Structure 1
C-alpha cells in the first residue's frame, strides 16, 4: 500500500510480539509497543505454548488495553517463524512490525518509520538496530554503515550491500506487499529464519527506505539461563543450522533470478558468519573442531559459485577460508589461535611470517597458502600485529612491539602510536596516551627494516625477543590506571591503538597481550584505599584491563573467577538446535552479533 498523506487514518500499524517462557520480559516489550502512540492499531501477542506464566501475563495486559490481542498456541512450534506468521495472518492494519518478547521499541520508532514510508511511498522501511548489553547497558549499532543517512533504494534486488542486514525486526512492512509476494517466515523449528525471510524480501524487489534513527533495541543477556540462538554458538548444531539457513537463502535468491544477489549473500556469509565462528573456534572442544572443520570445508568446496565468493571476499575472510580449505583437519592450537586472530575485527596477522618458493607471502611453511593481495593493501588496511607487554603497578608500563608485514609498514614509515583505554560498558574514552616508534637495530647498529624478513617469533610466547627484525618498539610509562572512574564496581577497559605513518595514513587496531606480566596487583589509592588492577587477554588475545576500586570490587573479581571455574567443571550443555530439544528461541535469528 502506497501512502501519500501523512494524516490519513490508514497509517496504522500492527505490532506482532512473539513469546515463549518469557513472563519476566514480555510486559516491557508489549508496553514499549503500546507507548508508540495512536499509530499502533493493535499489538498481537502470540504465546507459543509457554510452560510458565507468559500466557497469563499477556491476558492480564489485554484486559487492561483493548489494543492487545493474545493468541495462545497449544503446541510449541519450535521456532520463531510460526508465531510470527500467526501474527501476520491475523494483522488488520496496513503496516506490520515484529517484536521479540525480550526486546523493546525505543520511543518514536514507529512514527519515524511511518513518516519515511509516507514520504517515499515505500514497501519497507528499515531503521538502525541497537544491540544493548544487559545489565551494563552498552549499546552498539548493527551494520552502522547501512544506516548513516536516510536513503531510498528503488529496488532491493539491485543493492547487494543491503544483504548485510539479515534482521527482520528493525523494519516496517506494507502488509499488502508481503501478501502479494507470499513472503512469510519458515515454519517450525528453523533457526536463523530471518536469513530466509530477508532473502525473500530482497528477491521481491521491494522499494526500501533506510533511516538512521534507532527503531529497535535488541537486548543481549549473556548470563540468561537459556541463551538465544544467536548466542548459543558452542554446539555444532548451531553452525549447521546457520549453514542450512544460508543455503536456503541463496537458493531463494537464485531461484528468483537474482544470481548477483546470491553471490553477494555468499560473500556476506564468509565475511561475517565464517569469521565470527572462526574467532571462537579455539574455545571449542576437539570434537566440535573436527565436525566444524569438515562441515565448513564441505560448504566451501560445494560449488564454483562459492569458490568465486572466496576469491571475491575481503582479504582477512579470503585468507581464512583458503587456509581452511588447504588443511584437511583442524590446525593445532597455535595455528587455530593465529587463524582466530586473522578472523578478528580488526583482523591481525600474527607472526611468524613465511614466504613460499616464489617469494610470495604464505600462511606458514607447512601450509603454504598464498596471502594473495597483501601487497596491494595500503598501510591503513594491513592486518598488523602490535604486541604489548605490561608491567602493572601504581605507574603501569606498557612495552609495545609493532611487527612489519613483508615490508608493507616499512614503506609507509611508522611514526607514532596512540593508545586509548575505552570503557567497555559505555564506550567512553578514559585515557589517551601517545608514544613514538623506534626502529629496531642490528648488532652493527644499523636500522633493520628488511623488505621481506620473516619475524622469528611464536604467537603468545613470552620469551620472544621484543626487538625482532622488521619491527618497531615504543614504551608508554607512568600510566596511573587506578584513577580511572568506573560505571560500576568493576570496569573493563579495552585497549585500542591508532598507528600513525609518515605517509599520513592511520591504522586502527587492538593490541595483543603478551602473557608475561598479566598478573593482578593491588594499588594503593588515597580515596579508595586500594584498587585491584588486572591486565588480561580477551578471548581473541587482545589486551584489556579490569579496574576494581575498593574491597567490593575486589570481591566481584574473585566471585567472577570462582563462577568461571565452576562453569568449567559442569557437564556440557545440551545442543539446543537438535530436534530432541523442544524449547523455542525467543530471539530473532538475524544475529546482529
Structure 2
C-alpha cells in the first residue's frame, strides 16, 4: 500500500479522449478546497488532446498527478483500479471526466463519515440531461435523510444504488478487502464493484446531499453504456453483471442483499428494457427474450414473488412464452406508472394475462386497493386549441366498478422540473357506458396552456380519478386520437407551437415551443436527431 498523505481526500478522475471536458471535471474536484489533497487523473491511452490537457492541469496545481496507461483498457474498471493504486490519500472519491462534483460535495461526505465512523458514505447523484439542462435525482428514495448503518444489509434496498461515483471510500478498507473493479472491457462494472463493497460489510452512511452530477448526453455521438439499450450486447452485459452480483452476495452469505438484488432486477432492469422492446427489430427481440427467460429461470422464486404486482406479472408472461408476444401490452405494463391494457380474461375465478395456454395468473390483483390498480385512462384530444379531452376510464377485471368512479381532475407535470399545474376543469363528471366496463367524460380544460417563463417545455398529462370511497386513483393519461401540432397565439411569445404526442409508453405529453427561441429549440433537436 502507498504511504498515506493525511486524512484528506483523493479524487480519482478517469479519462479517455475527452480533452474538451476533462478540465471541468478536474477543476470541480480542486474547487472542493483544501479537503481534497490530490487529484489523480488516469489517462486510458487517449489519442486526442487529452495528454496536453493533463499536463497543463498538473502544471497549474501541485495536487494534480497524472497516470497514463500505455494501452486502452476498453472500459472504466482498469483505469479506476490504477487510480486507486496510485492514490496516497486516506479516503477516495471516483469521478468521470465528463461529469462534475458539485460545490461542497466532498466536505459533506467527509463530515458524515466522521459523524458515523463510516468506511463508505453515499450521497445523492443528480442526472443532468444535456444539451437542455434537466436535473433528475437518481434513486431519490434512498437519500431522503442521513442515516448510519453497521452493515448495508440492515437496509437491503441499498442494492438499488449501483453507482460507484456518488460515494466516499476509506481507501484502506478497499485495499484490505481486495475490492477492485472488473478489468478490461467489462460493462456495468459499477454493479460488480458496489456489490463487492456492500458484501464486505462496511460501516455505511447515507446523506441526502447532492454529491455528484452525472452528465447525460442523449444526443451525443457516443452515448454512455446505460443509454445503449438498442444493442443486444448491452442487455447481455447487464445480465452478466447481475449474475456476478448475485454470486457475490451468495459467497458473502448475505441472503437479504441477494434477495433484494434479484427483486430489483425484476422491478427495474427487466421493465426498463421491456418499455422499448416493441420498437426493436425482430433480430433483437428474440435473443433478448431468450436471454431474459433464462435469467429469470435462475432467480429465487421468493425474490420474484417479492416484486410489486406489475413487475411480477411481466416476469410471469416471459416465463410462460418462448417467443416474444404481447409486446405493446408488456411495454405499457412496464411504464411508470404501469397500465394494464385489455383483454381481461378470468380462468377458474383467477385473473389471467390472456387466453393462450398456459395463462399466466395475475397474482395479487385482488389485494390491490382501487387507487393502486394499473387502470387505463385514455384521452382523445379535441378542438383547434386542444383544450377538450374526451376521456375513457377502463375497468379492470371488474375491480374498479365497485369503487364507483365519479369525476376526474387534470394536471400537467413538467418533464424538465418539479412544477405541477392543477388545471381548472369544467364538467369533469364520469358516466358509465352500459355494457362496456368503462366510464367516459368530456372534459373542458379552462387553462390547458403550457406556456410559461421558458420558451420551450414538455409536460406529461396526468389525471386524478375520484372514487366514491378512499383516495383517488392517480395515473398518466394514455394518448388516444387527435394528436399533432397546433399553432396558437401566445401573449408572451407571439406565436407558439403546441404539440400533443404519444411517448414511447403511449402516454399523452405536450410539447410547447413559443416564439423564435422555442421554435429554434424544436428545429435544433430535430437536426441533432438526424445527425445522430
Structure 2 residue 284 is the aligned partner of structure 1 residue 277: no
- Mapped partners of 1:483, 1:322: distance in 2: 40
- Partners of 1:389 and 1:400 within 8 A in 2: yes
| Paired residues for 1:231-310 under 5 Å | 231-302=227-298, 305-310=299-304
Structure 2 residue 359 is the aligned partner of structure 1 residue 359: no
- Mapped partners of 1:48, 1:497: distance in 2: 50
Aligned residue among 380, 394, 412 for 1:403: 394
- Partners of 2:278 and 2:327 within 8 A in 1: yes
Aligned match of 2:94: 98
C-alpha displacement at 1:518, in angstroms?
A: 0.8
- Mapped partners of 1:438, 1:113: distance in 2: 52
Aligned match of 2:460: 494
C-alpha displacement at 1:498, in angstroms?
A: 2.7
Q: Which SS does the other structure have where 2:443 is aligned?
A: strand
- Mapped partners of 1:177, 1:552: distance in 2: 52
C-alpha displacement at 1:128, in angstroms?
A: 0.8
- Partners of 1:395 and 1:479 within 8 A in 2: no
C-alpha displacement at 1:381, in angstroms?
A: 1.7
- Mapped partners of 1:530, 1:64: distance in 2: 50
Structure 2 segments unaligned to the other structure (5+ residues)? none
Aligned match of 2:197: 201
C-alpha displacement at 1:497, in angstroms?
A: 2.4
- Partners of 1:531 and 1:550 within 8 A in 2: yes
| Paired residues for 1:80-119 under 5 Å | 80-119=76-115
Aligned match of 2:504: 539
Aligned match of 1:439: 431
- Mapped partners of 1:431, 1:28: distance in 2: 40
Question: Closer, same or farther in 2 for the Cα pair 1:424/1:484, shift >3 Å?
Answer: same
C-alpha displacement at 1:557, in angstroms?
A: 3.6
Question: Closer, same or farther in 2 for the Cα pair 1:154/1:339, shift >3 Å?
Answer: same
Question: TM-score under structure 1 normalisation?
Answer: 0.85
Q: Which SS does the other structure have where 2:511 is aligned?
A: strand
Structure 2 residue 69 is the aligned partner of structure 1 residue 73: yes
Per mean C-alpha deviation after superposition, the further-off stretch among 388-397 and 432-441 is 432-441
Q: Which SS does the other structure have where 1:365 is aligned?
A: coil
Structure 1 segments unaligned to the other structure (5+ residues)? 1-8, 443-447, 449-468, 571-593
Q: Deviations over 1:312-359 (max 9, x none)?
A: 21111110011011111011xxx2111000011111111222222x03
- Partners of 1:310 and 1:322 within 8 A in 2: no
Structure 2 residue 437 is the aligned partner of structure 1 residue 470: yes
C-alpha displacement at 1:61, in angstroms?
A: 0.9
- Mapped partners of 2:408, 2:277: distance in 1: 31
| Paired residues for 1:557-572 under 5 Å | 557=522, 560-561=525-526, 566=530
Question: Closer, same or farther in 2 for the Cα pair 1:118/1:289, shift >3 Å?
Answer: same
- Partners of 2:423 and 2:448 within 8 A in 1: no
Structure 2 residue 157 is the aligned partner of structure 1 residue 161: yes
Aligned match of 1:507: 473
Structure 2 residue 36 is the aligned partner of structure 1 residue 40: yes
Q: Which SS does the other structure have where 1:24 is aligned?
A: helix
Question: Closer, same or farther in 2 for the Cα pair 1:482/1:187, shift >3 Å?
Answer: same
- Mapped partners of 1:540, 1:291: distance in 2: 22
C-alpha displacement at 1:264, in angstroms?
A: 1.5
Q: Which SS does the other structure have where 2:215 is aligned?
A: strand
Structure 2 residue 21 is the aligned partner of structure 1 residue 31: no
Per mean C-alpha deviation after superposition, the further-off stretch among 195-204 and 151-160 is 151-160
C-alpha displacement at 1:86, in angstroms?
A: 0.6
Structure 2 residue 367 is the aligned partner of structure 1 residue 376: yes
Comparing both chains, which one has the higher relative contact order based on Cα–Cα distances under 8 Å and sequence gaps of 6 or more?
1
C-alpha displacement at 1:505, in angstroms?
A: 1.4
Q: Which SS does the other structure have where 2:112 is aligned?
A: helix
Moved over 6 A (4+): none
- Mapped partners of 1:267, 1:313: distance in 2: 6
Q: Which SS does the other structure have where 1:104 is aligned?
A: coil
- Partners of 2:406 and 2:431 within 8 A in 1: no
Aligned residue among 420, 425, 446 for 1:429: 420
- Mapped partners of 1:527, 1:159: distance in 2: 50
C-alpha displacement at 1:493, in angstroms?
A: 1.5
Question: Closer, same or farther in 2 for the Cα pair 1:30/1:411, shift >3 Å?
Answer: same
Structure 2 residue 152 is the aligned partner of structure 1 residue 187: no
- Partners of 1:104 and 1:217 within 8 A in 2: yes
C-alpha displacement at 1:432, in angstroms?
A: 2.5
Aligned match of 2:17: 21
C-alpha displacement at 1:111, in angstroms?
A: 0.8
- Mapped partners of 1:556, 1:135: distance in 2: 10
Question: Closer, same or farther in 2 for the Cα pair 1:525/1:51, shift >3 Å?
Answer: same
Q: Deviations over 1:459-483 (max 9, x none)?
A: xxxxxxxxxx222223221445456
Per mean C-alpha deviation after superposition, the further-off stretch among 413-422 and 252-261 is 413-422
Aligned residue among 307, 315, 321 for 1:313: 307
C-alpha displacement at 1:395, in angstroms?
A: 5.8
Q: Which SS does the other structure have where 2:103 is aligned?
A: coil
Q: Which SS does the other structure have where 1:112 is aligned?
A: helix
- Mapped partners of 1:551, 1:500: distance in 2: 40
Question: Closer, same or farther in 2 for the Cα pair 1:142/1:229, shift >3 Å?
Answer: same
Query: In the comparison of the two structures, how many residue pairs are matched?
Result: 526
Question: TM-score under structure 2 normalisation?
Answer: 0.94
C-alpha displacement at 1:155, in angstroms?
A: 1.1
C-alpha displacement at 1:23, in angstroms?
A: 1.1
C-alpha displacement at 1:553, in angstroms?
A: 3.7
Aligned match of 1:484: 451
- Partners of 2:423 and 2:446 within 8 A in 1: no
- Partners of 1:394 and 1:482 within 8 A in 2: no
- Mapped partners of 1:122, 1:486: distance in 2: 44
- Partners of 2:424 and 2:445 within 8 A in 1: no
Aligned residue among 308, 319, 344 for 2:335: 344
- Partners of 1:61 and 1:68 within 8 A in 2: yes
Question: Closer, same or farther in 2 for the Cα pair 1:297/1:66, shift >3 Å?
Answer: same
CA-based RMSD of the aligned residues comes to 2.0
Q: Which SS does the other structure have where 2:262 is aligned?
A: helix
Q: Deviations over 1:280-338 (max 9, x none)?
A: 11121110001101111111123xx433322221111110011011111011xxx2111
- Partners of 2:12 and 2:80 within 8 A in 1: yes
